[in-house]
Each structure stands twice: as C-alpha cells, then as structure tokens.
Structure 1
C-alpha cells in the first residue's frame, strides 16, 4: 500500500508518497495549478495500490482525480496538526495520517465529492443560519435569488476556470449572446488568467469562490480573510485590476458567525435557488430539464465549469438556454438582478447543498 499526501499552497500542490513503513518513495514534488493533469499522471505512475489523500481545505482537486480513476480520501482537522494561515498542513503530514489509520479518514465518493460524510453538518449549519441569512438578505449582504420583479434568471458557474470546460461553456454563451456569472477559485484564476480576461471581454460577471474550496466553518477568521483577499487579488490581477464584489461559499457552507465575517468583508454572499447537481453527472437531459422546470423569475442557477468531468454540463447548456428563452426569460448576470430589491431568502435545502460542492 502506498499513501500519497497532497497539500496546497499559493504555489500549487505538493505531493508526498510513502509506503507502509513510512519511507518516502520519491522526493516531494510541487505541481503548479496549471499542471493538475501531470500530477494525476504522476500518481498513476506508481506501481502497486496507491491511495491519494487531501485535507478538508482542498476541494479543487478530488473530482478530477476520481474522474481519472484514483482512490481519494479526505483527512479532517482532528487527524492533522495545526493548519497554516494560508496553506494545507504539509503533504508528508497528510500522508502520515493515512498510514497511521486509513480507516479513520473518509473515502470520497465521486457523486458526493469532498463533502462526502459532511452533508449532515452542512445541512445543520444551514439550518441554524436561516435567521442570519434573512437578516443579511434584508441588509443586501446575502442573496439566494433575485427579486422576481422581472422575468430574469442568472446562470452561475463555480470552481473554475479550467480547460477544456470553461472554454466550451464560454463558446456556448457567446453563441447565444447570453451573459453569466463565474465564481472563480484563486488557485485556478492564477493558472488561467486568459479565461478571466475573456469573461470580462464578453460581458460576464466574475465572483470570488475562495482560493482552495474549503468548508468555511472549519476556518478561523484570519484563514477565511486570507482566502478571500488572496482570491480577490488573483482575480483582479487576471481581470485588469477589477476585484470582485460577489462571493459564493463553497458547498454553500455557512454559520451565523461566518455570514457576519463575510458581510464585514464587503462582499455580497450569493447562494442559489436552482441546483441541478450537474457535478454528479445525472445526464445532460436531466440537467437541462431540471433547470428549465425549476426556474422562476429571479432564480439563480448553480452550475459548474471545473472540478471534474463537466462534459454533461457543457452538453446541457445549449438546450437549457433555449428552453429558458422559449419560456420568455432574460438571462442576466447576478449583478444585474441585484439592482432590484431582494425578496425574503429561500433557504437551500439539505439535498441542494450537495450541489455546492462542484
């Protein structure tokens, strides 16, 4: 058995592989965020059974690894030492945690992603945050849908940018002359600034989706602020100096305290009211039909352009747009919907929280 600990930092991903005796098979290797496919090939290159392990603040890599046939586990804070301000714990520590007791960690399932086993926590924290969400909606610091005063909806895409899917999504949006809002991770904004430049050039909105896609309720306030600030800086650098004003929490994760911190950051927290769970790959027809049938005036639709195989989302996009246009909807960026007074929030149900992963 081989154990591969994978950590993240501002520079990318560090990989450390050890065997059952705790001996390192190769020197630690750093892969830039633009080279995740090379990272996956590197892991596939080890003879014997290899288990890849990420920590719970790394939600940008597991989907692609599982799509490529790797077995992936998640190590939670209780399995690891103190986390740095802006990085995962070191890769050797993550690998050592797996060697000490793989059964104590969580094996990730492709249709559940990094949140595997944490769905009850996400649902409970969402429940206790309902009043804080309502208060934030009244103060215009949180939204889960537009006002509904106009027959408008917004398509939003999380987790990118990343080829080939982001480019294919942009091609389809350009074909229909439809703007969207992309909630980008700092990790990939630094890797693919050309996509953010294209988004702005073609009239799309860009929001902050943290650097590494962590569960926000596991972060200290300084760690959360660092994720927000570093991602804003990365997006501004890629987008010609324009920092985002919108934020999408990974997994929809929140607590009343976290919502308060986010409000103080000056960012508007954007949730959703339509989630076809496209990242679970239920089929392109199911994705498209689900969005068209669930959409209402003011809806904010959660989709994904990165984090795994997004071919079904790409295939669903054209019939989705056509179906919405046929029903008389105007498709606008989230920013345009925020120009009208927001209604009372629509709590995201526990089942829909799964859509926040990817």
Structure 2
C-alpha cells in the first residue's frame, strides 16, 4: 500500500498555518482538481481525481481542531480509524469540509452568504438579459445615440415589497429553517443548494399579496439611453451594467447585453471595415471610357473608366469604407462595374448597332478577345 503524503505537504502550507490559510489552500486545489473540471477516462483525469481525494482528506483532518491535534502528535496513526486513533466525521458531517465545499461550489456558480456564519441566507446575482437592436449602416459607421424600452421590476406598493397580503406576514421556511439552503448528498460529498420550497429567500408566504401574487415586485418597463459607438459591427454586444434581472435576497442585479444587428442597405454591403457596391455603367461608356459618379457614406466620388472597361471590373476607393472599433484606419470601398445592355431601342438605334456589330466582327479577336478565347475552349471541350 502506498505511503500517504504529509497532509501539510499535500495542501502546501506550513505546520503553523492558521485555519484561513488551510481553507484557502484547499479551495485552490479543489477548484483545480475537482472531477467536474477534469472529466474523461484518460490518465490526466484519473490523476486529477486522486489529487482531489488526497486534498479532501488532508483538509478534512486539518480543518478539525481535534483531528489536527491528534495528527500533529501521532501522525497518520493518530487519525486512522483502523488503528484506533481516528475521530468520527467526514463528508456531510458539518463544519470543515462541508463548509469549504459549499463556499467553493458558490464560487463557481455565483452564490454568496448574507450575514455571518453558516446560517446566513444565500444571495444570488440576477440573470443577464439580452436585447436585439437593429441599426442602419450609417448609424454603425458614424455612431448613434438611441433609446430602448426594456422590462424591469419595481417594488409592489400594495405590500411594500413583502409579498404578503396587507395585515399578514411571511413565515420562516420549515424546510431550510430560514437559511435559504439545503444540503444534498451526492456520492462521497455533500452539496449545498438553494431551498426548492422558498427559492433561497428563507421565507414562505401563506397568504400572498393579490397585486404581485407574492413576488413582492411588479413588472414594468423603463427607457434606457444607449450610446452606439462608431464602427460597431454585426453581432457585437453593448453591456449595460445592472439592468438585467434583480438578484435574490438582495443580491446584485444581472446585466443587460444589447446585441447589434445591421439592416440591409440598399446600395452597400459591408465586409468588415470594407464596403462593396455595384455601379451600373452604360455600354457606350464602358466601351469608350469616361467618368462615372459613385456614392460613398460621406457623399460622392468620381471614377475614371478606361476605354474598354469590362463587366465585373472592380475599382478600389481607398479609405472610403468604415473605421472599425479596433481599427486605426478606415477600410476601402470596392465598386464593381455592371455594364448595362441597352433596351427598348428605336429602329435607327438598332440599325446603328447592327452596323457596329458588322464592323466589330470584321476586326475579329482584336475587338473581342474574350469571345475568341471562350470559343476556343468550347471547341477543345468537344474534341
């Protein structure tokens, strides 16, 4: 059988360490090696489980004054029940390990004691809320101040927040004796949980208030001022501290997270800090070249089209995009040319186009190199 390590060595504390130091050392190890945080069947998970059990045993002994005194005097023999020197106790016996594990459990899941000692009620932070806010591209680029209306809770005026019908009062919960928590055994350890009968309040209301139905609060709506920073992107969230659901037993309220969604723009598509737009260009302008005006978020810009501009040609306007929240410089605007074929032609216009077509055909691939290349690829395909 393997020799047990010294309990002080296991926890990493000196032999003259006080109770707080021992408790702090154990909580650190328990948080690190707890099975819930080291799940799996591999060697690392099993090693973590062994270290957790070792730390648990060390703390169980050193946190109890009688067991610690026996251990200091006789070593492991002084606390080994198989050798006649150990005292009773262990998991779920109260004090020691149960208190420390309860504190550790609440460090993970947000519960805290209100009041001193083990009999204090638990206070819990309120849940976070989410709000979806739709904004325009211009508002995202330049920033925007707006207002939103959200649900909130106010103390009930009929019962003054007690939840009990006027003239009556709440009673101490008989299941948790007013502590707001109950102990439940799971496997080899005990877990402290919120009382399911009073939901952590420590009180039950036999005759609830008719206005709030025992909640002690009424649901209302309130208006919040929201400042949208310039450069915000789709899916980003703005945190409004303390505007979530109220806490339990005086615990802090949760936060409100405002999630940004951007409306589809009629002209631009956003890609990070860059913008994209499609610029329709007449066939004659694309063929002969010339200037076209394109929109930007700051006004208009001019693009010089070279002679023979093809459909799908892209022009980049540097710095005409959006300056993101984490960007040092604004993005670019990419204009994609869409050559338009003329419609509803007059007979004269049709005649002119036919003459142009005949003239271009005589020039062959000199005027339409793309068509010649495409025709060659088609021939190769059917060889």
Which protein has the bigger helix share?
1
Per the normalisation by structure 2, the TM-score is: 0.21
TM-score normalised over the length of structure 1:
0.22
**Structure possessing the higher radius of gyration over alpha carbons:** 2
